[in-house]
Amino acid sequence: MNFLLTRHLALALLLTLCNAAMAADFAPISKPKLIVLLVVDGLPQRQVLAYRDQLSNDGLARFLDRGAWFSQAHYGHAYTVTAPGHATLLTGATPSSTGIIGNEWRDPNIGEAQYCMADVSATYIGHKTYALDGTSPKNLRVQTVGDVLRRAYPGAKVISVSGKDRAAILLAGKTGTAYIYMASDGAFASSTYYMAQHPRWVTEFNARREANRYFNSEWKPLLPESAYGRSLPDGQKWFPLGGGKLPMLFGAHDDAPGPRFYSDLLRSPFGDAMTLDFARAAIAGEALGQRDVPDILAISLSGHDYVNHAFSAESRISHDHLLQLDRLLQGFFRDLDAAVGQENYIAVLSADHGFMPAPEYSATLGRDAGRLNPALLLGLLNQGLEKRFGVGQWALHFSGPGMQLNKRLIAQKGLDLDLVSDAARSLMLAAPGVAVAYTRRELEDGSRAGAPFFEAMQKSFSRDVPVDLAFVLKPWWMLGSGASGSTHGSPYPTDTQVPLLFYGPRWIRPGRIDTRVDMIDLAPTLAQHLGVSAPPAAHGQPLPLLAP
């Protein structure tokens, strides 16, 4: 008996040691001192690989050649726009949980426009603040990796910077610090939600007036004309009037730098260069990655989104912008290595959404493609509902991922909301370019589970800010009032598939991974590497990235 007991104890000890050894093989050697998250706004995965042979040696190629990258990373929610994507990245949660269902929406009770990051109790530091400016994460209902990190390590710093307020604020979370590019004067500013006044390094950075050095600068193609044969030439018919050709001169219409010039910089490599320069200043000013607690630096580069909206991801202008950005990243990595040490940080590069091709380009490929004017769609719904229920504005306005009906009028007429909603859905499905539509009741009770895009649309639906009718257009169709540009916002791979690239020699096993993953997996992965729990609302699982 003693022999058997001893034997069992020995086996148990052996298994324990083996399990410990196996765990050691897959556990990080130590926590990184810094996580650097780079978000290229509006970068579809297809663009990263389309010009791989033209990349610099140490920009995007650092990830593709010496890091780990997922070829099939997708957002799982249907309404793929900037704010929901940025909210998902560090929370690991879908819009239904974060509460960030769109960049803006309508208050379901009073119908007024609501901006996702608006908060009248906070103002920009040193800058005029307007009613719908983004100044705080008040509407973000859940925690980020940074919030969890700062709770575990109160001395940890979480700094974010972007050309867009919603991008910077959502990456900073509740307890980090967001800095936003001010198109009024080319400075970067935080808000009174975070602090009363800027630290000295921010004041000194803004005093240098970095944006002014780009006044009367040209954005010239990086490569010879023959190198752009894989993208569409300048001057396409869907380009905005008066623009659409490289080189582009910035400040040509102004005698001195002013708001128009500062705003124009955002749709160029110069805006991204300034954002990265501010990130460099943050690393130095806050000693990020250089202390005894881990930090997070989140950088959202806005330029590519503005370029793709104007010219499409298939354009030569977008092609060149990606190459310009690649060179900017190479310079940033060089300085990051020098300041923090290549063995001390993990870098991640992703995007908040992809981009659909311009409908006119899709039509040349024989696709069923087109533009659907939202005013026309609203008019078709109201005409049909009037025929059935009488005179009145039954469909009010678009809100986030869908449309709101006139519930006051429905109640006044003594009608059932579900009856009117079902009628509106039938009319919506008959409209040109519409693929599917679901009512609020269906999204809430899940009765259409398994139907096309239904689960993805549920992930974009919030009971706190509901829509009465959600819909998805057919592939290659675009909702918009103009005749130019391109967009995103659908559950199709053009919009959901984004790059997910990792670099960190001590922690990341290099290689391409073709398994399909959801972007909600990023937050738990970063939390694991930082040695903290995943954000409470995170739905994803850590990705298999630990170095051997």
Angle value at C-alpha 126, between 124 and 129, nearest 5 degrees = 40
Residue 401 in this model has a pLDDT that exceeds 50: yes
Residue 429 sits in which domain range? 370-479
Residue 9 pLDDT greater than 70, yes or no: no
Quick check: is 21 in a domain? no
**pLDDT band for position 242 (cuts 50, 70, 90):** low
Split at pLDDT 50, 70, 90, the class of 476 is very high
- Does residue 272 sit in the same domain as residue 415? no
Token pair of 242 as six digits = 């008066």
Q: Is the pLDDT score of 4 beyond 80? A: no
Can you read off the two tokens belonging to residue 122?
A: 């906070």
N residues, the chain:
548
What domain count does the chain have?
2
| 3-state class (DSSP) for residue 222 | coil
351 and 375 belong to one structural domain: no
- If asked whether residues 423 and 353 sit together in one domain, one would say no
DSSP string, 422-474: HHHHHHHHHSTTEEEEEEHHHHHHTTTTTSTTHHHHHHT--SSS--SEEEEEP
> 126 by DSSP, 3-state: which?
coil
Whether residue 23 has pLDDT greater than 60 = no
Q: Computed over its alpha carbons, how large is the radius of gyration of the chain?
A: 25
pLDDT score recorded for residue 262:
98
- Indicate the average pLDDT of the chain: 93
Q: Which two tokens stand for residue 1?
A: 């008996």
Span 489-512, pLDDT tens digits: 999 999 999 999 999 999 999 999
Is the pLDDT reported for residue 110 higher than 80? no
Residues 450 and 419 in one domain: yes
Within-domain flag for 24? no
Domain identity same for 235 and 306: yes
CATH of the domain at 163: 3.40.720.10
pLDDT digit string (tens) for 183-220?
Answer: 999 999 999 999 999 999 999 999 999 999 999 999 99
Considering the domain architecture, whether residues 215 and 332 belong to the same structural domain is answered as yes
Query: Residue 24 — pLDDT band, cuts 50, 70, 90?
Result: very low
pLDDT for the residue 367: 98
Query: How much is the pLDDT for 6?
Result: 38
Q: What is the mean pLDDT of residues 94-117?
A: 92
Task: State whether 273 and 392 are in the same domain.
Answer: no
Question: How much of the chain is in helix, strand and coil states, percent to nearest 5?
Answer: 40, 15, 45
Could you give the 3-state DSSP secondary structure of residue 328? helix
Digit-coded pLDDT (tens) for 136-155: 999 999 999 999 999 999 99
- pTM value is 0.93
Q: How confident is the model at residue 376 (pLDDT cuts 50, 70, 90)?
A: very high
**Residue 449, CA atoms < 13 Å, CB-side half-sphere:** 4
In a shared domain, residues 231 and 348: yes
User: Would 9 be classed as within a structural domain?
Assistant: no
Q: Are residues 54 and 177 in the same domain?
A: yes
Give the pLDDT band of residue 164 (cuts 50, 70, 90): very high
Is the CA virtual torsion 197, 202, 208, 210 positive or negative? negative
Q: Are residues 148 and 247 in the same domain?
A: yes
In a domain, 541, yes or no: no
pLDDT-derived band at 30 (thresholds 50, 70, 90) equals confident
